[in-house]
Amino acid sequence: MRVFWLNANFGACEIASTGLDTILQSSLPAEKKLTVIMANFAIRRYKNRDYDIVRLLFAQGMIEHLPVTCIYILKLLRVHFVLMVSFISLLMASRSYLLSFMCMTAILAAGWQLLKAEFNHYVEQCYSEDLMDIEKSYMVNSRSCFWVAESNGRVIGIVGAQGAEESDDVMVLRRLSVAKDQRFKGVAKSLCTTVIDFARQQGCKNVTLETSMIQHGAHKLYESMDFQKSNVRVFPTWFARLTNFSVFTYTYNIETH
């Protein structure tokens, strides 16, 4: 097991290699506020060679929420009503249960494709915005940065930070994503901590982020780190308005920590 610390410049440096599961943090100077990560990964700043894998990790992290979103929609009472009315109408028109069930299957399949297209559209939209030129979006301005978590030469996690346009006191955490096979190892928490430390260094008072209502694992992570839910809004698309699909805003108050 390797142990890494993050310095003020947010570069990961190896300080020890040990087979133990714990380390005494008291041996580190308190004034340096070092963050010790008990895992075999390091967090470093984004480099241009990371471009493709960063975009891939983001896309994978988004698309994996497709099944959960589908289940959420199918549980809505208004959807139950529409499906029931559709089935009864088909049955009355065709007088065939088999044909009615086949038509309903086709309707559900079409709905799945529409939902998938909505997710793909969002990913493509992000690809054309800040993820089009990550270097320019995050690495040029001193109030923004992008990091990757790397393990054995493989990028397994990503996160970005940008100063809020409306306030110099707010840092926005963006594009957090961790490879599916590398979760529950502290990667996401370490990436969030890196953003918080960066915001503190920039003199910000708060770190904010947005996440969808169906990302329950993300909610648990943020709340375990003392992020507070500060706003709920419906995502501004026709699909979201139709299904009341909401986005949660979480805020971390740096001054109280």
Segment 208-228, tens digit of pLDDT:
999 999 999 999 999 999 999
pLDDT tens digit sequence for 174-189: 999 999 999 999 999 9
What's the mean per-residue pLDDT of the chain?
86
Beta strand residue intervals within 73-205, DSSP E: 144-151, 154-163, 170-178
SS3 132: coil
The pair of three-digit structure tokens given for residue 4, joined into one six-digit string: 């890494």
Tell me which CATH code domain 2-62+128-256 carries: 3.40.630.30
In tens, the pLDDT along 89-118 reads: 999 999 999 999 999 999 999 999 999 999
Q: Please state the rounded mean pLDDT for residues 122-150.
A: 97
Nearest to 172 by CA among 129, 208, 212, 219: 208
Q: Determine how β-strand 206-212 pairs with β-strand 246-253.
A: antiparallel
Q: What is the mean pLDDT of residues 154-160?
A: 98
234 C-beta neighbours (distance < 10 Å), count: 14
Supply 220's token pair.
Answer: 């648990």
- DSSP string computed for 133-155: SHIIIIISSTTEEEEEEEETTEE
Read off the pLDDT of residues 55-85 as tens digits, 9 standing for 90 and up.
Answer: 999 999 999 999 999 999 999 999 999 999 9
Q: Domain-by-domain residue ranges, the chain?
A: 2-62+128-256, 63-127
